[in-house]
Structure 1
């Protein structure tokens, strides 16, 4: 089971979701559930040492001190270091959450006016009965944070869909998923002696800015709902040359290769994949629907009922497995050769993908044999390899077969690159080169 880390900050959006109703009435329990999640899924500092298949008593014995009372009543103040002695304010406002008390209070009161909120902050958050703690556990199971079997509780592989509230990075640059770029922007985004020294230039080919703003606003509004509803998309597909209606769950937005895309789960225009990247400017209509709607595809219904709706983390994980933005396409092995001089100038010491690895010339032959089942094609490639220089640079990479962005990258490297594998891609590139040659040689 892959280990997930719970880093959510207790902002009002998350607390409202945990409250499952009136935040005014259930705020103490919502904050307490947030602490529960830190103890079950938090980092090494917060997480308790607890095996799966645990009971309330086992969690209690690891979360509280050894002297913590084990009876049914509200525990008295018995030791200053026991977590049951901490006030709600001590749990909420520290360096780790980054929450500022007055701002948090203002946000909560604007959301739901709560009398005596300051008094609540001074109360002991875990000064509650064993029965209340048992109810906390059962609520976490109902919300999809735990699985319950025969009075034992088990951690889940995927966190349930919820309003994500994490500690914001400096200048709110956490949307940039490249750490080096974030560091540069954080260091240089402010003017130096009154002069701006950092500029971030993106190629952006889309011109339908009004439509983009409309869809971004609509998606932002929908992502603020609890739960986030599925949507019916009317989409004009450039690849298929037609307009389609797809019922999907909107997950997140990516800017990739000069355009903006909505990553969604449910139906794709060609009905071949569960996931699909919809280019935002080609969306013609977005209509939210109820989770009881009969047109919701079974794959999406299943994940909704299991409280396991798709998340952006899933997308990031899939993209790390293979090169290409269309993360839902089949992953295949690619074998490449670069001219040595070109490689040393422009490829060496650059990052393309986690799986983009240099290999020795001696390894290429074995890889061709391993990945080429057709013996005629295999022999043809081996003969070609025999006429290539061992001094050139050879690479292997896992890529998404059919991903347009991968094809565009390979085209940009021509004629300094040669694709050995897969065979069908090699032949497709050869046909493109032949047609291109005819244009300039006619």
Structure 2
């Protein structure tokens, strides 16, 4: 008998699984929570059903319907079409996956709490997180191993953890933003600065709202009554498919891990040279990530094959 995973899909737990980036990784966070339910929760207990050391192939035989396509070459749309079993987990929406676990809370209440957590960004509870390619689910298992929920051997096999070794969620505390030590002018200036950059980090929106609540109760805000109402709102959207967005998130996490290493590092990938119409392998030094035209891009330094000088590459 294995110990039971009993965490509900609260905004705090999902954000914890997303490493504080729930707005960018909502689908992945839902998948991770569901996978943990299957590994350690009732009634599945995959930890007891799977071999002690298992591969992704072992896992998918238990996890997906027998009618779920197994080819790694299929696209997301092909998988959605080719799986004929309406009870397969790839057919279940976010709403269907969480509705029992959040009872007696309604799905609307849960959705609103998630939206508040990520700064007002709209989530799509009708989308199907597991209607994706096998590579994405493989990466989810790697992610669980990185978080400490699974152990991964050098041979690429996984092993379930005993409950005493499970990662522990952070203690949820009510956040309080104390601006009593700031002058009225400083408070107002801080608010305007945060408003201008909150679109790059949705969680900052919570700070902005807290500041707005506090300053509207103060009587000494400079020229408060003459300040214009908020009329500029920014909503970030992505042009990439859910599948490609998950891949981009994986790349971003790997690059961020690289930046956190004291010695840094370089990365290698395939690059298409339009002028010669050929694909080559290129090694670059990653400099920064930026968001433009509804997608994330990597700015890096390298040398174009055969030519000197820096090159700007993107995913």
Q: TM-score, normalised by structure 1?
A: 0.35
More strand by share: 1
Higher relative contact order (CA 8 A, sep 6+): 2
* TM-score, normalised with respect to structure 2: 0.49
- Please identify the structure whose Cα radius of gyration is greater: 1
